[in-house]
Amino acid sequence: MTSDTPKIPPFRIGEGWDTHALVPGRPLIIGGVEVPHTTGLLGHSDADVLVHAIIDALLGAAGLGDIGGLFPDTEARFKGADSLVLLAEVARLLAARGLYIGNIDCTVVAQAPKLAPYIPAMREHIARVLAIDESQVNVKAKTAEKLGPVGQGLSMEARAVALIYAL
């Protein structure tokens, strides 16, 4: 960087998105919470669509790639992995680089089940793993109005935006 190059601002924003198919015979884990339902999300790990979106948002904000690069589904050690454990590793990577989380805002899109009763526990789990206050984690739930694969109950998706900063 030369003297006339603008300094990189301390704030960085990342966006994350994830989707998984719903299948019988798997637990439905969202935000680290097991939600009672007839189907669960299909994936190499526990397929926690919300935590995966958060991981991608944080990695993106830090310029550290994405979840597939850090935790590839080709590695047996991630088979059935608890996504909150993966999120804790991302938190460690951020801390090692002097990066702090300002806030995370998320939306889970699912036709069923209704997720509102589980959102407080999701926020608590995510905040605890990231060592931040629950007020820094927002989770919303929406339906797809019966449109597309999500609306037909074939899949779920989640989006997340994260603000991180360096001191």
For 116, counting Cβ atoms within 10 Å of its Cβ (0-12 exposed, 13-18 middle, 19+ buried), the class is: exposed
The whole-number mean pLDDT for each consecutive block of 10 residues of the chain, a chain of 167 residues, reads 73 98 98 98 97 99 96 91 98 97 99 98 99 98 98 98 96
Question: Are 18 and 158 contacting, i.e. CB atoms less than 8 angstroms apart?
Answer: yes
Domains of the chain: 12-166 (3.30.1330.50)
What integer pLDDT is reported at residue 3 of this predicted model? 67
pTM exceeds 0.85: yes
